[in-house]
Amino acid sequence: MSISYFSKLSQEEVELLAMAPANVTVLIAGADNDIDKNETEWASKLVRFRTFTSDERLHDYYELVDARFEGDLNTLVADWSAEESQAKLTASLAQLKDILAKVDDSYSAILKESLRSLAKHVAKASGGFLGMGGITREEGELIDLDMLD
């Protein structure tokens, strides 16, 4: 699948962008040292929903992501170790700053907002009252994905 907004990007850069939702999911879900099944399941549903409910310009992106999300997520979760993985995921997401500078500014802005929204939804998927709506302190420190700016 070719995404016109990514025409100036290398295959490696497109790969990093395609991994971003899985990286965000595991970064936020693992922030409290406990990757909860509710968090990963909700992220999977959100990615699928966003193939048709996100800003129209992101539909192709989320179709690309959705086709590989489960596999990417399962690999990240299987390889996850609290401290080491959090640092790697943060570094991987930080690379997106330079990559997104190469694409249309408005597209970059909506993609960053979409990833931040995903982070918030993952954080709210576990904890809180009756298991919904709670954001831990650790998740709250990461939820804005400051490494993208």
> Can you give the residue ranges of every domain in the chain?
9-148
Location of structure tokens 């409910």: 53
CA 12 vs CA 100, 123, 143: distances in Å: 13, 28, 25
SS3 146: helix
Residues 25-54: tens digit of each pLDDT: 999 999 988 898 999 999 999 999 999 999
Which is more confidently placed, 128 or 91? Answer: 91
The arithmetic mean of pLDDT across residues 57-68, rounded, is 97
- Pairwise CA distance, residues 63 & 119, whole Å: 19
Give pTM, 2 decimals: 0.93
What is the pLDDT at residue 99? 97
Residues 20-30: tens digit of each pLDDT: 999 999 999 99
